[in-house]
Amino acid sequence: MKYLSVAEARSMPGLRLALGAGTPGAWSISARALFDLRKVPYVPVAQEMGAENRELVAWTGRRNAPVAVYEDEPAVDNWLDILVLAERLGSGPSLLPDDPIERALAVGFSAEICGQGGFGWSRRVTMMAAAPPPDPHSPLDVIVREYGVLRDTVQDAAARVIGILHGLSMQLHRQRMAGSDYLVGGRLSACDVHWACFSLLVQRLPPEHCALSPHLEHLFTSMSPEMRAAVDPILIEHRDRIWERHIGLPLLY
């Protein structure tokens, strides 16, 4: 995937989307998918994982990715703000259910997947704990210090991952019994997209659809037996269906 630098993108019109370059980060690839599905054109801007990203901070006030900047509006980086922006700028079927109860449920599932202390955040903590001790000046050390990878944190995070996996699989089984292929209601919503993207943290896409470096392969596949057992096949069946039917493969990053 071709990225522009902050200097190149900053003065451009339209939507600029800072993404983790060279890494299939779940928050970044889900932001891309939401804008793609809503048919919102954007310019990809490179963000370097764990680096200071001084130019990005000077422009947006954020060091991490994703960050979305539309025209002269303030930058947004929260998963919900990015979804709301995609809904506002996009066209075609909404990624939020029409029914208010279903909409609240869909947003709630996305919060469990993407939000602070949720599936992605917790799984990242367990991944960092499984990695070799980082060099004090490496990007990995920055992430370890930022997210507080301590023994109690890791134990709590692992339990949180397992609990959310169980909740998602139970919902998908209920939906299957009701005749639906989706997490909420009868059509695609943002929580389906979020799970499809974040599922890479517990089971990678086939190599022909998403190539990983040996380092990323190790990080993405390092799981306890309990966590691995919590990955119900229905979660991966749903993930594969969303990628093939809606998002599109291969995943380039």
Q: What is the 3-state secondary structure (H, E, C) of the chain?
A: CCCECHHHHCCCCCEEEEEECCCCCHHHHHHHHHHHHCCCCEEEEEECCCCCCHHHHHHHCCCCCCEEEECCCCCECCHHHHHHHHHHHCCCCCCCCCCHHHHHHHHHHHHHHHCCCCHHHHHHHHHHHHCCCCCCCCHHHHHHHHHCCCHHHHHHHHHHHHHHHHHHHHHHHHHHHCCCCCCCCCCCCHHHHHHHHHHHHCCCCCCCCCCCCHHHHHHHHCCCHHHHHCCCHHHHHHHHHHHHHHHCCCCCC
For the chain, the structural domain boundaries read 6-89, 100-247
The CATH number for 100-247, chosen from 1.20.1050, 3.30.420, 3.30.43, 3.50.4, is 1.20.1050
Tens digits of pLDDT across the chain (253 residues): 899 999 999 999 999 999 999 999 999 999 999 999 999 999 999 999 889 999 999 999 999 999 999 999 999 999 999 999 999 999 999 999 999 999 999 999 999 999 999 999 999 999 887 655 555 555 545 555 555 555 567 789 999 999 999 999 999 999 999 999 999 999 999 999 999 999 999 999 999 999 998 888 888 888 999 999 999 999 999 999 999 999 999 999 9
CATH fold for domain 6-89:
Glutaredoxin (3.40.30)
The answer, yes or no, to whether the previous bond of 134 is cis (omega within 30 of 0) is: no
List of residues 6+ apart from 3 with CB closer than 8 A: 19, 21, 44, 45, 46
Its sign, for the CA torsion 164, 98, 94, 11, is negative
In this structure, which amino acid lies at residue 133? Answer: P
Whole-model pTM? Answer: 0.92
